C-alpha cells in the first residue's frame, strides 16, 4: 500500500535489555487475537480511531498513504484484497469484488476478472464492469497524479491519453486497455508481462467508481466516496473528525474479509502523540474504546508501557515492513559523491535513539525490507560496522565533491509535529561533524506528502517512509525511484521524493517486472536495490517496528504489514455498551 508511512512520531529508548524484550514478545504474541472469552469481539458500539491527521484522500484513484488505504478498505472494495488476519496471512491476496484472484493469459499481459453476484453500491445499484473501466481510466487524469503509479505504468494506454475528463474520454470509448467482455467481466491489457498483477488489483487504483455520482462534485468525492464496503462516510466531516456509519447495502455473506464489528467508527485527529498516549494510558472517555492507528507510543512513555503488564497487554507491536528514510533531492544534489558523503555521514544509531531506541526497529541498509523475499543483504555504506556514521569516509568524499551541499547548507523537510521536530536535533548534530549546517524546515502536517512532491520546494533531504503495497520489490522500487513520469518543478504528484531519474535503473526495473520466474524476479529486485543504494538516491534509516496502544475495551488488534498499522477491518469492542465509558 501501499504508500508512504504516516510519520507523526516517527511511524519511537535506549535498549532496555532482556526484560523489555520478553515483555514485547508477550505483547506480540497476544495482540493478534482475542485470548479469552472476555476479550471476544462483539458486534456494535463506537470505535474511536486516533490519527495524526485525517486522511488527505479517500478517492480510490488518488489514495497513496497507508492510513488512507486502511480507512478506505472499510468503504471501497477492490477486485482482490489481502486477508484481515495476523501474521503471514495478512500478505495473502484473496478475491474481493471478483470471484478469484485473476486469470492471466497472453504470457501475463492480459488479466481477466469476473465480478461476484450481488455486489452493490451503497444505493443498492449493482457494481458493473463499466464502473471498473471508469475507475481505471481516472488514473490517467492529471487530477489523480498523487495516486499510486501502477495502473498508469502497466496498462497499455496511448501516451496522449489524459483520462476521462478531457476530450470526451476518447469519444466515449475510453481506453481499449480496459475491456468489458460483458457486464460482469473485465479484461486488463498490459504493456508488458506482469506476473503479480493480482496484487495490483488489490490496490484502490483499479477500484470501481460510479461516473454519475462522482461527476456531480469531483472534489467532494475525495472526502465522501460512494461506498461499496461495510461503511459509508457520514455527512458533517470537519478538519479534525470524520465518522463512518454502516452501509445497509453491504452483504457480509459475499465479503469474507471485512469483519465490520463496530456500528460506528469515529476518526479523530490527535497530532501530539505524547498527549494521546497519556490519554490512552488513563483509559477514560473515548480512549477506553479507542486506538492509536498511525501514531506510535510516544518515546517518553515507552519504558512505562513496556514494563507495565497491563499497558503492554494493550499495545500492538510488531514489524511493519515499513522503511523510514531520507530522500535526497537528486535534481538539486546532482553530484553522486556529495550524495554518498551524506549517506556515510548519517548517524543512524543516534537517529534511532531519538525515535525511541532499538525497540523502534533494526537499522536499515536497503529499501526492500527483510520481510520480503526480494530482500538482499548488503551494506553499501557500512551501517553494520559504523552505525554512528563513517565520518572519515564522508570527509574524503566531500573533498572530492563540488558545491556540497548546494548553497552551503542542507535544507531538511519534516512533517510538522512535536515528535518530528525532536528528530531534527540529531540530524543537525550529525552533519555538523562534517562541517555541514542543517536548516530543518517544518512542512504542514496534513499536506506534507503533497507539498514535498514538488521539487521546486528546494529541499535537499526529505523525511519519509514507505510500506510495500504488496509483498514484492515491484511494490517498493518503482514507486520510489522510477523517474520517467516525474512532475516538473512547480508541479505535484509523485512518491519519488528523490526526483531520481536514471536510465539504467529504469531499464532494470522493466526487466524485473517482466521476469516470469518469481524467484529470479526476487533476485533482480534485490540486485536493483543495491544499485540504487550505490547511486545514493536516498538514505534508509530504520526497518520500522510499530507500537500502537489502545483502550481496554478494544480487541482483535494486530499490526498488518499491508498498512504498517493495526488492520481496521478486524478491530472490535469487547463491550459495545461501554463505548466511550470510563475505564
Task: Express each pLDDT in 333-365 by its tens digit.
Answer: 999 999 999 999 999 999 999 988 898 899 999
What is the arithmetic mean of pLDDT over 540-549?
95
For residue range 387-427, what is the model confidence (pLDDT) as tens digits? 999 999 999 999 999 899 998 999 999 999 888 999 999 99
pLDDT the model gives residue 20: 28
For residue range 89-109, what is the model confidence (pLDDT) as tens digits? 888 999 999 999 999 999 999
Cell (9 digits) for 370: 527483510
Asked if residue 331 belongs to a domain, the reply is yes
For residue range 282-328, what is the model confidence (pLDDT) as tens digits? 999 999 999 999 999 998 898 899 999 999 999 999 888 899 999 99
Residue 239's contacts (CB-CB under 8 Å, 6 or more residues apart) are 54, 269
pLDDT the model gives residue 24: 34
Beta strand residue intervals within 369-418, DSSP E: 409-415
Residues 105 and 23 both lie in one domain: no
% of the chain residues with pLDDT over 70: 93
pLDDT the model gives residue 1: 41
* pLDDT at 7 > cutoff 50: no
Give the span between the Cα atoms of 577 and 89, in whole angstroms.
Answer: 32
Residue 146, SS3 per DSSP: coil
* pLDDT at 557 > cutoff 90: yes
Beta sheet of 264-269, edge-to-edge order: 231-233, 241-246, 264-269, 46-51, 290-292
The per-residue pLDDT of the chain, averaged, comes to 91
Of 184, 212, 227, which residue constitutes the final position of a domain?
Answer: 227
Asked if residue 395 belongs to a domain, the reply is yes
Residues 34 and 126 both lie in one domain: no
Residues 160 and 111 both lie in one domain: yes
* pLDDT at 372 > cutoff 70: yes
% of the chain residues with pLDDT over 90: 81
Q: Cα(first)–Cα(last) distance of the chain, in Å?
A: 34
pLDDT the model gives residue 17: 25
Asked if residue 301 belongs to a domain, the reply is yes
User: Of 583 and 267, which is predicted with more confidence?
Assistant: 267
What is the arithmetic mean of pLDDT over 235-251?
97
Reported as a pLDDT band with limits 50, 70 and 90, residue 35 is low
Asked if residue 113 belongs to a domain, the reply is yes
pLDDT the model gives residue 46: 98
Reported as a pLDDT band with limits 50, 70 and 90, residue 5 is very low
Cell (9 digits) for 26: 508477550
Residues 531 and 551 both lie in one domain: no
For residue range 104-159, what is the model confidence (pLDDT) as tens digits? 999 999 999 999 999 999 999 999 999 999 999 999 999 998 899 899 999 999 99
Of 163, 192, 227, which residue constitutes the final position of a domain?
Answer: 227
* pLDDT at 26 > cutoff 80: no
User: Of 26 and 384, which is predicted with more confidence?
Assistant: 384
Which CATH number belongs to the domain containing residue 197 in this structure?
Answer: 3.40.190.10
Pair 65, 55: CB distance under 8 Å:
yes
Please give the residue range of the domain that contains residue 555: 3-53+250-318+545-578
What is the arithmetic mean of pLDDT over 58-81?
96
Rounded-to-5 percentages of helix, strand, coil across the chain:
35, 20, 45
Of 227, 242, 264, which residue constitutes the final position of a domain?
Answer: 227
What is the arithmetic mean of pLDDT over 254-261?
97
Pair 472, 499: CB distance under 8 Å:
no
Which CATH number belongs to the domain containing residue 489 in this structure?
Answer: 3.10.105.10
Residues 283 and 347 both lie in one domain: no
What is the arithmetic mean of pLDDT over 239-244?
97
Residues 482 and 383 both lie in one domain: yes
Residues 18 and 120 both lie in one domain: no
Residues 314 and 205 both lie in one domain: no
Strands 241-246 and 185-189: unpaired
Residues 220 and 271 both lie in one domain: no
Asked if residue 237 belongs to a domain, the reply is no
Give the span between the Cα atoms of 122 and 226, in whole angstroms.
Answer: 7
* pLDDT at 2 > cutoff 60: no
pLDDT the model gives residue 580: 55
Asked if residue 379 belongs to a domain, the reply is yes
CA dihedral 130, 131, 133, 136 (to 10 degrees): 170
Per the listing, cell 490517467 goes with 140
Q: Residue 111: which of 161, 207, 185 has the closest Cα?
A: 185
pLDDT the model gives residue 10: 26
Per the listing, cell 460512494 goes with 226
Q: Residue 414: which of 1, 10, 64 has the closest Cα?
A: 10
Residues 503 and 521 both lie in one domain: yes
pLDDT the model gives residue 416: 94
Residues 458 and 518 both lie in one domain: yes
What is the arithmetic mean of pLDDT over 166-174?
89
Asked if residue 243 belongs to a domain, the reply is no
For residue range 223-241, what is the model confidence (pLDDT) as tens digits? 999 999 999 999 999 999 9
Asked if residue 234 belongs to a domain, the reply is no
Q: How many domains does the chain have?
A: 3
For residue range 469-508, what is the model confidence (pLDDT) as tens digits? 888 999 999 999 999 989 999 999 899 999 999 999 999 9
User: Of 12 and 521, which is predicted with more confidence?
Assistant: 521
Residues 130 and 202 both lie in one domain: yes
Amino acid at each position: 500500500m501501499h504508500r508512504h508511512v504516516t510519520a507523526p512520531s516517527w511511524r519511537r529508548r535506549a535498549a532496555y535489555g532482556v526484560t523489555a524484550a520478553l515483555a514485547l514478545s508477550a505483547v506480540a504474541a497476544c495482540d493478534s487475537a482475542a485470548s479469552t472469552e472476555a476479550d471476544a469481539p462483539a458486534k456494535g458500539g463506537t470505535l474511536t480511531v486516533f490519527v495524526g491527521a485525517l486522511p488527505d484522500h479517500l478517492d480510490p484513484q488518488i489514495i497513496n498513504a497507508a492510513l488512507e488505504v486502511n480507512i478506505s478498505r472499510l468503504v471501497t472494495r477492490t477486485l482482490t484484497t489481502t486477508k484481515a488476519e495476523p501474521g503471514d496471512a495478512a500478505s495473502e491476496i484473496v478475491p474481493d469484488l471478483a470471484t478469484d484472484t485473476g486469470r492471466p493469459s497472453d504470457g501475463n499481459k492480459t488479466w481477466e476478472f469476473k465480478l461476484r453476484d450481488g455486489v452493490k453500491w451503497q444505493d443498492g445499484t449493482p457494481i458493473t464492469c463499466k464502473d471498473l473501466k471508469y475507475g481505471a481510466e481516472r488514473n490517467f487524469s492529471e487530477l489523480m497524479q498523487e495516486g499510486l503509479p501502477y495502473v498508469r505504468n502497466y496498462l497499455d494506454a496511448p501516451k496522449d491519453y489524459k483520462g476521462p475528463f478531457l476530450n470526451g474520454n476518447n469519444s466515449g470509448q475510453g481506453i481499449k486497455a480496459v475491456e468489458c467482455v460483458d457486464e460482469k467481466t473485465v479484461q486488463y491489457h498490459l504493456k508488458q508481462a506482469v506476473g503479480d498483477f493480482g496484487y495490483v488489483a488489490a490496490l484502490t487504483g483499479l477500484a470501481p467508481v460510479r461516473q454519475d455520482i462522482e461527476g456531480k462534485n469531483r472534489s467532494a468525492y475525495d472526502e465522501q466516496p460512494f461506498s461499496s464496503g461495510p461503511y459509508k462516510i457520514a455527512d458533517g466531516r470537519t478538519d479534525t473528525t470524520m465518522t463512518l456509519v454502516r452501509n445497509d447495502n453491504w452483504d457480509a455473506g459475499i465479503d469474507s474479509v471485512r469483519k465490520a464489528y463496530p456500528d460506528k467508527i469515529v476518526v479523530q485527529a490527535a497530532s501530539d502523540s505524547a498527549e494521546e498516549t497519556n490519554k490512552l494510558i488513563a483509559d477514560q472517555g473515548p480512549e477506553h474504546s479507542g486506538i492509536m492507528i498511525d501514531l506510535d507510543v510516544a518515546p517518553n512513555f515507552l519504558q512505562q508501557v513496556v514494563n507495565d503488564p497491563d499497558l503492554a497487554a494493550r499495545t500492538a507491536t510488531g514489524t511493519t515492513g515499513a522503511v523510514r528514510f531520507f530522500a535526497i533531492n537528486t535534481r538539486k544534489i546532482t553530484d553522486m559523491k556529495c550524495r554518498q558523503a551524506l549517506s556515510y555521514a548519517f548517524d543512524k544509531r543516534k537517529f534511532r535513539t531519538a525515535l525511541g531506541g532499538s525497540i523502534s526497529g533494526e537499522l536499515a541498509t536497503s529499501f526492500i525490507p527483510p520481510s520480503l523475499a526480494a530482500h538482499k543483504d548488503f551494506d553499501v555504506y557500512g551501517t553494520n560496522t559504523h552505525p554512528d556514521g563513517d565520518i572519515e569516509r564522508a570527509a574524503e568524499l566531500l573533498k572530492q565533491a563540488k558545491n556540497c551541499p548546494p548553497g552551503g547548507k542542507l535544507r531538511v523537510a519534516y512533517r510538522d509535529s512535536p515528535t518530528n521536530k525532536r528528530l531534527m536535533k540529531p540530524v543537525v548534530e550529525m552533519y555538523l561533524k562534517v562541517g555541514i549546517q542543517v536548516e530543518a524546515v517544518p512542512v504542514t502536517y496534513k499536506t506534507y506528502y503533497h507539498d514535498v512532491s514538488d521539487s521546486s520546494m528546494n529541499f535537499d533531504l526529505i523525511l519519509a517512509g514507505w510500506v510495500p503495497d504488496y509483498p514484492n520489490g515491484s511494490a517498493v522500487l518503482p514507486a520510489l525511484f522510477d523517474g520517467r513520469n516525474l512532475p516538473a518543478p512547480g508541479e505535484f504528484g509523485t512518491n519519488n521524493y528523490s526526483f531520481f531519474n536514471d536510465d539504467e535503473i529504469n531499464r532494470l526495473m522493466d526487466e524485473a517486472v517482466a521476469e516470469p520466474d518469481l524467484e529470479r524476479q526476487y533476485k533482480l529486485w534485490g540486485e536493483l536495490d543495491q544499485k540504487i543504494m550505490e547511486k545514493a538516491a536516498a538514505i534508509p534509516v530504520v526497518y520500522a517496528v510499530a507500537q500502537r496502544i489502545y483502550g481496554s475495551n478494544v480487541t482483535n488488534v494486530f499490526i498488518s504489514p499491508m498498512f504498517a498499522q493495526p488492520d481496521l477491518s478486524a478491530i472490535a469492542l469487547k463491550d459495545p455498551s461501554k463505548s466511550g465509558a470510563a475505564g
